């Protein structure tokens, strides 16, 4: 689903004082949140409820692509673009609606 299109449509129809409620799996709720913030909604105008955390988005720090995984922070996942094995960090980026993933052996390389 294209959350940016949904956010833009909501933005065009909204009035001062409107609130947006979003419920669903964490990955979807946080993606919708990022899209709503990008089109000008304020955090105080959003009511969010995650119903599950089975799947998360991980953004590769090396090639900057994001993919969905069934994983939690601390897990290792493969990057589909650059091929590095990534450790999922606890850092979450609201802007990208994704957890940070960085190369497992990054400290061993220059």
DSSP string, 33-94: HHHHHHTT--GGGEEEEEEE-S-EEEEETTT--EEEES--TT-EEE-TTT--EEEEEEEEET
Task: Answer whether residue 110 shows pLDDT above 60.
Answer: no
**pLDDT class for 105, splitting at 50, 70, 90?**
confident
Q: What is the pTM of this model?
A: 0.75
Q: pLDDT tens digits for 77-93?
A: 999 999 999 999 999 99
Distance (Å, whole) CA 94 – CA 99: 9
Whole-number Cα distances in Å, 60 to 26, 80, 98, 104: 19, 9, 9, 11
Q: pLDDT tens digits for 42-79?
A: 999 999 999 987 899 999 999 999 999 999 999 999 99
Distance (Å, whole) CA 110 – CA 87: 18
Task: Answer whether residue 20 shows pLDDT above 60.
Answer: yes
Q: Give the chain's length.
A: 110
The SS3 of residue 3 is: helix
């Amino acid at each position: 689903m294209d959350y940016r299109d949904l956010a833009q449509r909501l933005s065009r129809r909204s009035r001062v004082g409107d609130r947006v409620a979003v419920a669903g799996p964490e990955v979807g709720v946080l993606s919708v949140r990022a899209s709503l913030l990008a089109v000008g909604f304020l955090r105080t105008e959003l009511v969010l409820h995650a119903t599950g955390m089975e799947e998360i988005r991980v953004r590769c720090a090396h090639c900057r692509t994001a993919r969905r995984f069934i994983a939690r922070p601390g897990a290792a996942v493969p990057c589909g673009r650059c091929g590095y094995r990534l450790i999922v960090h606890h850092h979450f980026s609201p802007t990208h609606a994704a957890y940070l993933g960085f190369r497992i052996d990054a400290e061993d390389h220059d």
